[in-house]
Structure formats: structure tokens, C-alpha cells
Amino acid sequence: MASDSPAVAEATKEAEPPPGGPGGGRGERRVSPHHRTYLKYRFVAGFLAVPLVLYGVLVVSPFFQTFYYSLTDWTGLSSDFAFVGLDNFGRLMEDEIFRKALWHNVLLLLVLPVITLGLGLFFAFMLNVGGRHRRGEAVAGVRGSRFYKIVYFFPQALSIAIVVVLWKYIFNPAGGLLNGILSAVGLGEWQQSWLGDPRLAFWCVVVVMVWANVGFYVVLFSAAMGSIPREIYEATLLDGAGRTTTFFRVTLPLMRDTVQTGWVYMGIMALDAFAVVHILTVNAGGPAYSTIVAPVYLYNKAFQDGQAGYATAVAVALLIVTMVFSVAAMAFGRSKDRIEF
């Protein structure tokens, strides 16, 4: 009979429970949950081992080296140095130039994100929602909004060094574009030595940094606004809300996470500002230290004055300020009442 075939007999044999009952006999190997977890994580660790080692050597290790060198009198030019403890940090507390540099970084931290993100939000809202109402559409962007986004984003396609050199020629008091325009429109008395005046040089740095970064946030915020459902705007307009109310009551709350990310990014950039200050200003931080920032002061101490140990102490102080800002910004931006759509 067909039921007596070898294949059926083998299948019947496999279907029978093992000796010793349902729990299995001595011949069955039982794998514990702990062993299965070990096997799973061993497999994952096999893939992560090499990247973690590289990250530790190339990223984490330099941080510990920086902390160590900040406790020495290393010149950066010799392998001989002595351990001085917290003397470098004591010097920082008494260093007037360092305090001025750190204050400029804090001032950039207060001013730069507000201006840059404010302009980015304004231009993005105007491009996406500020157009005339069209038939069948509750909201509409201005005509040619795609072209305007390309124009705003153009500085991002240039190296920051090129941007700063261009603005250096614009601010040039002798034949610069800015003074030339003022003279051409009959405002010659407004001509200034922009980068040579301690009262104006810092604000010239702010102008350059805002101009170089606002286009990126116009595109970023435009993408965030484009993801907001049009039905929400339609309901708002039916309630009689204007554009200002729509922005503060609808658009901005729905873009909270994007704005928070931009705020952290701009804050970290404000705590750096090395390239702009080093290339744009007189003597990399002048005149009279009116534009000096902590990274430029660190560079001068390490590579011009031969005080690498003291420079690493400046780096540690700047790292602490940056971490405090990042944690505060993330904590302040955290909201329990998250709006989803």
C-alpha cells in the first residue's frame, strides 16, 4: 500500500514525540533564553567591534588627550613638558582677552540664531504661504518661489573661505562695494572703515554669518512647511485667521522640532566662528580684540605663542560651554504636548 512506502514511514517517525515525554529526553539539546540572547548580541558585536574601536581611537581618545594636555605646560613644539595641574584654568579666570573672546562667543550665541532663524522663517513663510489666493487653493506661495529658494541657497554652494573673502572686499574702505554704493546714492557721509572700526567690526562679522547661513534655513523650513497638510490652513482661514495668526498659531507650533534643531546647529556655529573671524577681521580678531572669539584665541596661543597646554585649556572651557548650551537647548525645547499631524 502507499501508506507503507519508505517516505511515509520516515515522516511518521519524525512526527513522533521524543522519548521521555513532551519535554524531550536526554538526546534533545535545550537552548536557554540567556544563551539565545548571548548568540544574538555576539553576532551584532561582531559587526560593531571594528567601527567602535576606530571611533574610540580617532574620536574619543583625542578628547582624553586634550584633557591631559590642558594640565601641562606643553609648548606644542617639544616632547618635553611638565604637569602643572589646574594652573592653566586658573590663568583663564584672570585672562582678560579670553574673557572678552568668550563674551563675543556668547553674544553671537544670543544674536546669531535669533536673526538667522527669524529671517529663515519669515522668508520661508512668505515663499510658501504668502502668495495671493488662487482658485481652489486655500494657501499659495509666491510666483517663482523655486527660483527664490535657489537664490537664497546659493551661498551654501560656496566655500566659507570664498564667502568671507568676497565680503572682505565688500567692506574694504578704499574702493569696496559698500562704500561705493553709499557714494553713488549720495550718502558719502555714511562711508566707514567697516572692519577697522572697533564699534562696527563685530557686527560686520554677524552680517557675514547671517548672509552665509540664512539660505539653508529658508530651504529647510520650506520643506517643513510643505509637509503641513493644506486642510489645516483651510480650517484656519475659515475661522477668519490672518497670515500672522496662522504663522504663530499653526505653522510655528507644527515646526517646533525643526526650529529646535536649527537653533542647536546655529548655536554651535556661533560658538565656533573661527573661519569668519580669522579671515575677515584685522589681525584675526582685531582691531583691539573687538572681534576675537575663543577658537581664534586658542589658535593664536597654540600656533603663534607656543602655549599648546594653555590652548587646550581654552578648548576644554569652550567644550564645556558648548555642552551646556546643547543640553539647555534640548531641555528647553522639549515639550510634553507634542503636536502631530
pLDDT digits (tens, 9 = 90+) for 207-258: 999 999 999 999 999 888 888 887 887 787 777 777 788 888 888 888 888 8
| The pLDDT of residue 120 | 93
Task: List the grid coordinates of 74.
Answer: 606643553
Q: Is a pLDDT exceeding 90 seen at residue 22?
A: no
Question: What pLDDT is recorded for position 245?
Answer: 82
Q: What is the mean pLDDT of residues 103-115?
A: 93
Q: Answer whether 128's CB lies under 8 Å from 144's CB.
A: no
Mean pLDDT of the chain: 82
Q: How far apart are CA 329 and CA 285, in angstroms?
A: 28
Does residue 277 contact residue 284 with C-beta atoms inside 8 Å?
yes
pLDDT tens for each residue of 172-218: 988 889 999 998 998 888 889 999 999 999 999 999 999 999 999 99
Per-residue pLDDT tens over the stretch 139-179? 666 777 788 888 888 888 888 999 999 999 999 988 889 99
In this structure, what C-alpha cell is assigned to residue 222?
520650506
Q: Among 99, 96, 141, which Cα is nearest to 251's?
A: 141
Does the pLDDT value for residue 43 go beyond 70?
yes
pLDDT digits (tens, 9 = 90+) for 282-331: 888 889 999 999 999 999 999 988 899 999 999 999 989 888 888 887 77
